[in-house]
A = this chain, B = another copy of it.
Amino acid sequence: MTDKNIVLLVGGVGGAKLAFGLNKLVSPENLTIIVNTADDFWLYGLRICPDVDTIMYTLSGLVDKQNGWGISDDTAITLNALERIGEAPWFRLGDRDLATHMLRTQLWYEGYSLTAITKRLTSALDIKCNILPMTNTPVETHVDTVERGELPFQMYFVKHRWQPTARNIRFDNIEQANVSDESRAAIENADAIIVGPSNPWLSIQPILSVPGMRELLTAQQVPRIAVTPLIGGEAVKGPTAKIMRELGYTTTVQTIAEFYSGVINRFAYDKRDAPLQIENLRLLALDTLMQSEERRIELADQLLHWLED
């Protein structure tokens, strides 16, 4: 167990793996996970926060390990009933999972902030570390696509399985967002900031775009490490490489490091990739593939050791 204060910035499934590893090695009071909420949306009147849920379900052990999201062995009685009354569901919501969205929505209308709601949910799930939404303000990612025009994020990502060609990404309402007091305090107290191996354009960029966030992060004279989401030029899962190509980037770890330029001072990439050298950036080649729980803990451990260095 390290007693360093660690702040991890993440999106959903990819970042959750590193969150899982860090959660095993960092005392809960020292670990803060700031989660993308630009994927959040309303469905059937319910407020759904897919990335926050994925992190919560992963850390609580409830997660469906096959998918990396949702609750293990969840049933779909409500969704099947919806289908029977003519509404073909395109977003999977298990019956146990629904309770999370319903309680969140109830508290939302009672006037609680998303930070307070998330605190209540994590407590109920017996999660001891600090999971914070990137902001309390609703922000909405829209992906402008060649084939289907502009799509709200979940329509792009889930309904159309990220198959349309992206040509632009926009975070609606981001200018109204701000860094919450809880996030600010965690970042100011951080001994290290780690950007998880999440999609830089879809998951991390919204966090960095919260007004004041980039400046707050770079003001911290501590290791600020990004972990590559690419291995050998491809994403482990999800659309990172595809989106990079579509937006005109080369799908290399170098591009990832450059994308985070100014924000990070260290970069961990995969040892399968060619050795990297970038000015003003400390670099470390690691096995970043986390296909088992042991590997997640091992990678977290290697990153924590690097902090001593």
Contacts and interface: CB of A to CB of B under 8 A. Distances in A.
A216 interface: no
Interface in A70-99: 75, 77-79, 81-82, 84-87, 95-96, 98-99
Interface stretch (A42-50, A148-156, A231-239): A42-50
A155 B86 CA distance: 32
B87 A106 contact: yes
Given A81-B95, A96-B78, A99-B85, A106 B43 contact: yes
Interface of chain A, main secondary structure: helix
Given A42-B109, A46-B44, A102 B78 contact: yes
A45 B99 contact: no
> How many identical subunits does the complex contain?
2
A103 interface: yes
A102 B82 contact: yes
Interface string A290-308: 0000000000000000000
Interface of A: 42-47, 75, 77-79, 81-82, 84-87, 95-96, 98-100, 102-103, 105-106, 108-109, 120-121, 124-125
8 contacts: A44-B103, A75-B77, A78-B78, A78-B98, A81-B99, A84-B124, A86-B124, A95-B95
